[in-house]
Structure 1
Amino acid sequence: MKSQLQARRVSAIWQQGMARRRFLKWGLLGSAGVAAVAAGGFALLRRSPLDKQEAPAWVRGLSEAEYHLFNRARQVLLPVDGTALLPSEQVPVVQNVQTLLGHLHPLTRKEVAAGLGLFDNAAVLTRGSRFVDLNDDDARAYFDSWGQGNVIQRTLATVIKQLVYSAYWQDSATWPPTEFDGPVSDKWGLEYLGNAPLPDSVADGEARA
């Protein structure tokens, strides 16, 4: 029960960030056409050995391509070897990502799917293979280049990173090495109120600004 409540809290916080970025208005559906062109024009290059690997049985809210993308992003973004942190393969990172995405509005989810396809396939144009097939150094460099790119590139890189990081750190098994003992709301028995609106005084001030 507590893990489900924690997951809902993380999902709500992540969706607030999505709303603040006005994700729906960034034309990702149009960008999906670019991904489609890349997919068609570079059909041979975009073939991946992972295409023959089926996703695990628990995958329901992700496509197989999305599963492989987030599984690769987990490996690239959470390199904890040589540290006290829990290895990401011991945390249900991709399962947690699936849960987070499952709370999105269907239209937003569709646009996120288009963006994920663009991120994966666009690597063919600059690096000769899809993101899921890049080695660790090239994959991190790819993230860095998108983090410094145009607004859509920066947004997609940020969204993928936030999903992976949130999915990892929301699991309480990852907390002991950092000496984090859980949300104070749990310790104090505070009821979660969801996405509460801003006080009128704050909202008025933002409107005037």
Structure 2
Amino acid sequence: MNFVWLLLLALAVVAAIFKGTMGAVSDAAFSSANTAVQLALGLVGGMTLFLGLMRVAQDAGLVQVLARALRPVLKWLFPGVPKEHPALGSIALNMGANMLGLGDAATPMGLKAMQDLQELNPDKDTATDAMCMFMALHSSSIQLIPVIVISLRAAAGSKNPAEIIIPTLLGTLCAAVVAVLASKLFSRLPQYRRNAAAAVKKNV
């Protein structure tokens, strides 16, 4: 990826030299850098406010409440995970944190969930259905409070930056449904079933 960025930069400079627009390129580069700094500074206030509120919610136990509410759903999503296995708790906490926009809290919880799922994996080199389902859910997480988007809209001068909440909720809900259905569908395809059976047999 570093090579790709370097190649794009080199091509842009060469094109600017041949077209005689090197001055415009330099002006655009400095202007973009200035805009980036202004945007970052504008985000600091909004992010501080919302992440502070989310941290209060986390310390108050709201994430744990969401996690308990999600457990019945997780039993259906992860039928191969034993009922009392710690993986379900880690997954529930990860999903609860993601729903509240607590990315800093969701990441370590997600890593812990994957470690717990790996303990149940008969073939350590191949992801299980539960692992694939968890990755699909983590990537398409339902967002109750899109903190970053709200902060971006506030920094851009939006009169009502929080109006994005309902559309975001509906959009991420649709994405999560599609991700779950896709994961369930692919896990039932003959090729994947054969691979799973072969992995179990190899480790018996």
TM-score by length of structure 2 reads 0.26
Larger-gyration structure (1/2): 2
Greater per-residue helix proportion: 2
Higher RCO (Cα < 8 Å, 6 or more apart): 1
